[in-house]
A and B are shown apart, each in its own frame.
Chain A
Amino acid sequence: MERAVVPWDGPEPLSGPIGVPLVDLLDRVLATGVVISGDLVIAIADVPLVRLSLHALLSSVSERVPAPWADGGPL
């Protein structure tokens, strides 16, 4: 299947292959919710010194993903 090449540069303002501004993209991603996980070890001279283990949930507050505090939290 032939795919049209997305131009990186041109006289026209770029709209991007997705055609959606990043802020709208983030809005949709948050509406679905994402989990970011990763492991990071910082080492110097092959000696591991710091371990960072990440499990982050990024989502809109909804019935499926309620806020962890019923009263709005320690604001």
Chain B
Amino acid sequence: MTDARVDLDSDKVGKDLVTLVLTVVELLRQLMERQAIRRIDQGDLTDEQTEEIGTTLMLLEQRMTELCEQHGVRPEDLNLDLGPLGTLLPRD
């Protein structure tokens, strides 16, 4: 599974850096998504707040997909294999 690594190549270092940045952003996005679900499950948010969080997270996901398409990065490229630690993101 070495092809899942972010391999910095001098010829396409620009694209690889974009992949690296998008990977970090995607990790944070998914983490925030999970935290939001926990928070909503706690039940201390108003319906309005829940709605707003849902919309924002949906827009974020759309934007991520757009960015990936723009830079020719496949969504699975953002998932790093951390060796014995497993993967960064869940496999779809």
Contacts and interface: CB of A to CB of B under 8 A. Distances in A.
A21 B81 contact: no
A7 to B, nearest CB: 9
B38 interface: yes
B18 interface: no
Interface of A, secondary structure class, is loop
B27 interface: yes
Contacts, number: 65
A20 interface: yes
A14 B84 contact: yes
A22 B84 contact: no
Contact of A16 (B31, B35, B82): B82
Contacts of A23: 27, 30-31, 34, 88-90
B84 A16 contact: yes
Given A23-B31, A61-B39, A16 B90 contact: no
Interface string B38-60: 11001010000000000000000
Interface of B: 1, 27, 30-31, 34-35, 38-39, 42, 44, 81-91
Given A13-B81, A16-B82, 15 more contacts: A13-B91, A14-B84, A15-B87, A16-B84, A16-B85, A16-B87, A18-B85, A21-B91, A23-B90, A27-B38, A30-B31, A30-B35, A31-B38, A60-B35, A60-B38
